[in-house]
Amino acid sequence: MKPTPAAADWLTPRRFAALLAVLIFASWPQVLLGLQTFVYRDFGYFTYPVAQFQRDCFWRGELPLWNPLNCSGIPFLAQWNTAALYPPSLFYLLLPLPWSLGVFQMLHLLLGGLGMFLLARRWTGNAFAAGIAGVVFAFCGLNQNCLMWVSNLAALAWMPWVIWRVELAAREGGRQIAIAALVGAVQMLSGAPEIIALTWLVAAMPVLGLGVKSFGRFALVVALVTALSAAQLLPFLDLLAHSHRTENFSGDSWSLPLSGAVNFFAPLFRAHPSYHGVYLQTAQQWTASYYLGGATLVLAALAVWRVRSRRVFWLAALAVLGLVLALGNDGGIYGLLRHVPGLGVMRYPVKFIVLPVFILPLLAAFALAGGGEDQPRKFRNQVAFLWLALLASAIAALGFAWKFPLPECDWFELWRNTAARAIFFTAILGGLVLMRQNLRASLRQWLPWVLLVIVWFDLLTHAPRQQTINADNFSAPWPRVPAPPRLGEGRVWNPPAAEAELLNFRIENPAASFVSRRWALVENCNLIEGVPKVDGFFSLRLREELEVFSLLTCASNGYPARLADFLGVSQVNAAADVFTWVARPTALPLVTAGQQPVFAGREAMLQKLASPDFDPRREVCLPSEAKAFITATNTAVKISGVQFSGHRVAVQVQADASALVVVAQSFYHCWRGSVDGHPARVWRANHNFQAVEIPAGAHELVLVYEDRRFELGAVISLLTLAGCVACFFPPPWKRNAAALNRNS
């Protein structure tokens, strides 16, 4: 379809961005005005708490390498999906929360839609077709679902930009290589490994047919992106090697159900309403929706039917591959892919749905720009055939849901919703057919924009949306008795019975639901309050820390109290009321000293920690290899002062003889010990914690977190960044030659 005069003359990138901004404001005005903010699922229990912790570190002048408030201490920056080094995160670090975080997410919808517009316009040469693709991608069900995550939404938003700039770099070289590397690095730092990997899979496809020189440029871009991201990648790979994820970690859980293809045009099919009001599939709950609109599906199919292009072919092939892989083992390919080295640590096959979600809007743009303006009847007939096929599929889905209902599904709501989707895709396709007819000038001018708005409204209303709550629910003070422990004083913990009750807690009011859980410090809500907690909600946990934590949660006759004492569990949820906290007076301080060392292997050590005979006041378990180096026995030790901060622990001790100082903080090789300024080895104690031997007398023990891999990566990243920036400034001799040429 040739662009109409209105689309060709008016729909520039700047104006399309303005249109997107207006549509985004119309979608969530309460969030952009700061009156409310998102709260759905991970936004309230992961995204916001992580942003709050990162912001607190920023204003203290600290780089958040280590999180001392969760999981007895855990690497933070190395998690990757915390987006600690993602440059745009400065937006919510500098501006007030929670307003800035909600606006930050909205800006990524704008970024993603504009990037899709630019990519589709470059590939199709049609502004209106690119506008349709941009609106569909910005407001599709997957992006709306990803409003609860910084990392996933940011990676999706940068996806079209990376593919566009990488192809340009492969074709033209020069400064385009530096631009592509910078754009790719920004996405790499967003922290969504699976989406980033799929981005580069799509980006590599057009390059493969451009020749050896172009492939060399592509390889150079990949190398530069890796170097620019080294400050993030090196700590992440290090943590991954020490985490609970192994090559056998990945499973088939949260795969797309076989009926999942229907949800592309009937979003509530075989889905049930959660207590949040959002509909979820029973088989997977990573995304509530990946709806693109029935018109997008028809146009994508039309592109495969009508457009004879190698690019359309490989895009369609990748979309089908992504859908098949999203099915998990039911697709027949995913099980084989899991055995590829390095891919076994990935999780949730449904994430491959990113491929069709990204590609189908592009295929729709190809269909709209595919020519045939001189054959409007043929276009109309083909669209009518596909429209009838989709309508018949929707009716068949309704019949199936009526004949084989799921107990938790509402058939009448499904009927109403599917009928509304059918009306929308009929109106959109009818408008597109009408655009190929001889119309009055005024109708030709306004019809494209009306269709863009209809596409937006269909996507916005395709299913119940994420709830929002008043922003002050994240910051309003609330009473606690007893007072919560602060860093270094102890920890709180939700025992298994309380955790199960909190997970099953249901209340319709979203604000009351969130505030109640915030009081109970579920997941990472402790980061909002600055309260240390035994566990937490993170993608990567240290292997040994999780094994010790499992001892607390797997006991059939209650948790091992002495292990909880050692962990400093000073408060737990009351058995009668999980929203009330009770003190545990037997909890030990996080720093103890003078215990008798017990040398044991891994299994014996874990059995000892779970045993009711374990006495952390009198004994500490050390690895067998430490026996040749440790001379300390049980002895009297006085601890006169302890200073805990995020990356430093200082202890003043007085010992009658050489003794062990035990710190109930997770062992990680980045912690360095010193006694009176002299290096001291930090031993793994009680399977996951820290112990340092000190000589007799008065001493100062200092533990400092120093991530050498991050430091090396930062040097590599900064040097590479300097090189990329230098590409935009020609050397003096070239500037002088250019000046001479101008003067001559």
Q: Write the pLDDT tens digit of every residue in 29-85.
A: 999 999 999 999 899 999 999 999 999 999 999 999 999 999 999 999 999 999 999
pLDDT at 1: 45
| Percentage above 70 pLDDT, the chain | 93
Contact 496, 25 (CB under 8 A): no
- Cis check: omega of the bond before 482, within 30 degrees of 0: yes
Identify the three-state secondary structure at position 699.
strand
User: Hey, how many other C-beta atoms are within 10 angstroms of the C-beta on 506?
Assistant: 8
pLDDT tens for residues 611-630? Answer: 989 999 999 999 999 999 99
pTM for the structure as a whole = 0.93
Closest among 736, 2, 109 to 369, alpha carbons compared: 2
Return the H-helix or E-strand segment holding 295. helix 294-306
Return the H-helix or E-strand segment holding 619. strand 619-623
pLDDT at 212: 85
Q: How confident is the model at residue 2 (pLDDT cuts 50, 70, 90)?
A: very low
pLDDT at 5: 45
Beta strands in 481-636 (DSSP E): 491-493, 569-573, 581-583, 591-593, 596-600, 619-623
DSSP string covering 641-655, please? EEEEETTEEEEEEEE
User: Hey, how many other C-beta atoms are within 10 angstroms of the C-beta on 212?
Assistant: 7
Which tokens is 528 given? 């909002």
pLDDT at 703: 97
Instruction: Kindly calculate the radius of gyration of the chain based on its CA atoms and give it in whole angstroms.
Output: 29
State how far the Cα of 703 lies from the Cα of 169, in Å rounded to an integer. 47
Q: How confident is the model at residue 265 (pLDDT cuts 50, 70, 90)?
A: very high
Lowest mean per-residue pLDDT among 89-103, 193-207, 271-285, 431-445:
431-445
State how far the Cα of 634 lies from the Cα of 24, in Å rounded to an integer. 65
Which tokens is 365 given? 């743009």
pLDDT at 296: 97
Contact 591, 661 (CB under 8 A): yes
Q: How confident is the model at residue 577 (pLDDT cuts 50, 70, 90)?
A: confident
Which tokens is 457 given? 């409204």
Span 680-704, average pLDDT: 95
Whether residue 478 is predicted with pLDDT greater than 80 in this model: the reply is no
Whether residue 566 is predicted with pLDDT greater than 50 in this model: the reply is yes
Q: How confident is the model at residue 436 (pLDDT cuts 50, 70, 90)?
A: confident
Whether residue 480 is predicted with pLDDT greater than 80 in this model: the reply is no
- 394 HSE (CA, 13 A, CB side): 28
Mean pLDDT of the chain: 90
pLDDT at 6: 46
Q: Which residues contact 725 (CB under 8 A, 6 or more apart)?
A: 178
Closest among 178, 217, 261 to 720, alpha carbons compared: 178
More confident site: 58 or 499: 58
Identify the three-state secondary structure at position 422.
helix
Contact 88, 150 (CB under 8 A): no
pLDDT at 744: 55
Whether residue 224 is predicted with pLDDT greater than 90 in this model: the reply is yes
Contact 340, 297 (CB under 8 A): no
pLDDT tens for residues 399-412? Answer: 999 999 888 788 88
